[in-house]
Amino acid sequence: MKALSYAILAAAALVSLAFVNVLKPNSLGAAAFIAVWLVLPYAALALGLTFFAKERAPAIAYAVAVAIVAVGGLLFLTYVIFLHPDPQGGIAVLFTPVYQAVGIGILVPTCRWLIAKASA
């Protein structure tokens, strides 16, 4: 379960970095900032998976959160960059990790609670 979660995180991080290339920032500093900022939620999930998912139930909770947050974030970026580009799209891109952090903050405890309730 954890290996699949790490694979999803790695793929999502690589796609996010490809989106940074599509955005074509003006400077190397801006590109580095956007890249780090977009990868930050995936790094946080990987750290959580490493340190807090020692048993099977927390690993399942993190796997669900990883899948939903990764897919949701990439779909949002795809919508903002490709399907509905507008001048405010840059602001939406920069808010994507904030939305993902909110999703992580809601999904991980909720999934852990549901799994604990189901196994009790």
Q: Give the whole-angstrom CA distance, residue 75 versus residue 117.
A: 31
pLDDT of residue 43: 97
Packing angle, helices 56-78 and 2-23, rounded to 10: 20
32-44 average pLDDT score? 97
Residue whose C-alpha is closest to residue 41's, from 18, 72, 19, 2: 72
Which pLDDT band, with edges at 50, 70 and 90, does 120 fall under? confident
pTM above 0.75, yes or no: yes
Q: Give the whole-angstrom CA distance, residue 42 versus residue 100.
A: 9
Q: What are 54-91's pLDDT values in tens digits?
A: 888 888 888 999 999 999 999 999 999 999 998 888 89
pLDDT of residue 24: 92
Contact by Cβ (8 Å): 17, 39: yes
24 phi, psi to nearest 5 deg = 55, 65
pLDDT of residue 42: 97
pLDDT of residue 44: 95
Contact by Cβ (8 Å): 67, 8: yes
pLDDT of residue 36: 97
Mean pLDDT estimate for the chain = 93
Q: How many beta carbons lie within 10 A of that of residue 35, not counting itself?
A: 18
